[in-house]
Structure 1
């Protein structure tokens, strides 16, 4: 039951990741009356807080390895409290400070859980071998993607079951309850003896190849951060398919989840780098295809969702596994390193929101209303063209990585 528990804990954490960025812009603008530009600024400020917080969380996990159970419970507890508070907020003069405080709680709990889960890869793997670490990564990322699908569709399901409004209040309570259940069900895996390594330094990270992988992670995260942030806007206002937003989002993440075992197996056979170089051009093609879609292009966008979702599965399983393998081979403390990794990933999400949302607002784009051709062009540019350019840059960077040995 070790790896299924890893999947369950990952599923809980994933509900505070990409789905929060998918639902938050719409919730904040429609329910709280907060503009897109203001929301982008809020998210960027919180990420500046993470610049200090995430490495300190990683340091604390490595400093007190025997407290990993309590760290795990604290992360789940923060999510259990934070989600009902967030989606229970209402508009008013104090909406912005309340939103900032609740997001700080949620993202801090998310950071703690993510850094712990990834940093303890050697502890949670049955053996500290590249092959076993890749297997662990497959279970972990399958759980992550299951959580993304779960959190993406729950509001729509709750509305269908009679939840008031857009289902967000019930959504918060559901995610909070799920966090409590996960905390109880995954306790045994955090009682395993912690596997620790040597303290980190800039030199040791560089020699292990971890700095190059961190750089790639930031560049590579930007395209999916942009498309995740703007997904609902693109489907509802550019394609005029609001009724299909939920099913298309599920299709995207479902294809990502189904692809994870395939990418993991291929990575074990031909090496992680070569597998990544197969997936990246497919992602570039899918981003480029979205730029040519017009209103009502349901079938074309469904194909793009399937292909881009499958390539997301490669990103999620391969890059963290490559990073973990590099740290394990070098005998380094992984939690502090994954503290930096966690910040890098969230920085990409915040940069995407901070750059794209004010740009769209400046061009006159307003969610859920009739928009001008100029505003819709800016939306297509941000959703499709810019991610294509960024993914091409990530592919060029990946070509410079040293080749990894297959892990079979």
Structure 2
């Protein structure tokens, strides 16, 4: 591979795959529970336990998938296999064959397929991006640019994934399954096109990277990497703070604000604000470093989102402002942890296993957020019940507390995370 700095269009082509990955992730994490509750009359508590179990099972495989990618050096094949399985699993989620299987059993199977495929695809994709700066003569600049393109396209995918499925779910019940089938088909086509762009137009995977050693050696390498270890706890806490509102957003908008028809608008504005803020965070990171920007994003998120715990029916304008502020903070959450991880991986270490651990923590946070549904049921909240104090506390107050804890642990970790971005070459 040439050492020339990748051109902007190559980095844009690399980032394109982030769009369908995000399009698939948001409906699965945010809207599946509401879909099965509305479409198949499944109980809230059982839905929460099914989602928790599927997500927890998924978390266990990520480091293994990362190690296999490093060990076998089959990045292109991993991407292709993951894309095929993801397209099939995502379509299956919205088309439960109720005459053959119980909806909860079908949901469990499709969640496992979809989560596993998404993991395989995403880990290989992140590992590919982490090596861009190793191929260039301009140090870490390609890494920041690739991250910005990836997260920017991803935010566009989140906007699509937040608005279109939310709009579909607001339609009459008889129309929902067919419209989600059309959405799944469009998703599959887009996934294939963006994967083709990655394989043919993006900077190539470096062919000189040696296969990873035995998994015991990989674990020893990661344990000895102080910067990597100090990144894990704040990342987990922060991921939990982001996952909780994502899981409960539709319930909060519908019952606390009594503004269900505006759900797509609220979610869309949140991700549009994140997309607008991402270039700002990237520029600030080039000047002040990724760590400082991540801290700033956490502070902005706490300041913006805390007020959601105090809102009630009809407070749509105030909630819209909260969505804009919290969305602007999201850009830092999306980009900066991956940049910090990339700069912490030594050049001799294979990267996919590291990203496997980081995605494991992200999915563990999602699994734990699924427990919010049975927790709310235990506290007496049921969907359709308005003005119940448990919903705003779990939706808003608890995530702000987790953000504060993440900020404090990140402050303690700063001595080993403060070095400026460097090339791993």
Question: TM-score normalised to the size of structure 2?
Answer: 0.88
Task: Give the one of 52, 74, 77 matched to 2:81.
Answer: 74
Q: CA RMSD in A?
A: 2.4
Q: Which runs of 5+ in 1 are unaligned?
A: none
C-alpha separation in 2, matches of 1:191 and 1:6: 9
Write the distance in 2 (CA, Å) between the matches of 1:22 and 1:55.
24
Aligned twin of 1:164? 175
Give the Cα separation in 2 of the matches to 1:31 and 1:195.
51
Tell me the secondary structure at the aligned position of residue 34 of structure 1. Answer: coil
Distance in 2 of aligned mates of 1:261 and 1:404: 21
Task: Give the 3-state SS of the residue equivalent to 1:400 in structure 2.
Answer: helix
1:205 and 1:120 map into 2 onto residues whose CA distance is 22
Query: 2:56, 2:367 within 8 Å by CA — same for their partners in 1?
Result: no
Q: Deviations over 1:53-109 (max 9, x none)?
A: 1111101110122x2111111111112211221111155652122111111111111
- The SS at the match of 2:310 is coil
* 1:25 and 2:43 correspond: no
TM-aligned CA deviation for residue 291 of structure 1? 1.0
String of CA shifts for 1:12-50, please: whole Å, max 9, x gaps.
111232332111111121112222221221222223322
Structure 1 CA distance for aligned equivalents of residues 326 and 119 of structure 2:
26
Aligned residue in 2 for 1:316: 334
Alignment of 1:2-41 (within 5 A): 2-41=10-49
- State the distance in 2 between where 1:154 and 1:221 align: 25
Deviation at 1:176, TM superposition (A): 2.5
* Structure 1 match to 2:302: 284
Aligned to 2:333, what secondary structure does the other structure show? helix
**1:352/1:156 CA distance change after superposition, 3 Å:** closer
Q: Aligned pair in 2 of structure 1 residues 158, 38: CA closer, same or farther (>3 Å)?
A: closer
Give, in angstroms, the shift of residue 331 of structure 1. 3.2
Match of 1:192 among 205, 208, 211: 205
Report deviation, 1:219.
Answer: 0.7
Deviation, structure 1 residue 122: 3.5
Runs of 4+ off more than 3 Å: 90-93, 122-126, 156-163, 189-192, 194-199, 202-206, 405-408
Does residue 139 of structure 1 match 2:139? no
Q: Normalising by structure 1, report the TM-score.
A: 0.91
Q: Does the alignment pair 1:43 with 2:43? A: no
Residue pair 2:170, 2:261 contacting (<8 A) in 1 also: no
Instruction: Pick from 394, 397, 405 the counterpart of residue 409 of structure 2.
Output: 397
User: How far apart in 1 are the matches of 2:168 and 2:42?
Assistant: 24
Q: What per-residue deviation string (whole Å, max 9, x for no partner) do you get for residues 131-190 of structure 1?
A: 321222111111221111111122356689999237323322322232233233332138
* 2:230 counterpart of 1:230: no
**Match status 1:296 vs 2:314:** yes
Deviations 1:206-225 (A, max 9, x none): 43410111221111101110
8 Å contact from structure 2 (residues 16, 149) kept in 1: no
Q: Quick one: structure 1 residues 95 and 156, their matched pair in 2 at CA, closer, same or farther if it must change by over 3 Å? A: closer
**Are the counterparts in 2 of residues 71 and 113 from structure 1 also a CA contact under 8 Å?**
yes
- In the alignment, the residues of structure 2 paired with residue 281 and residue 105 of structure 1 have an alpha-carbon distance, to the nearest angstrom, of 36
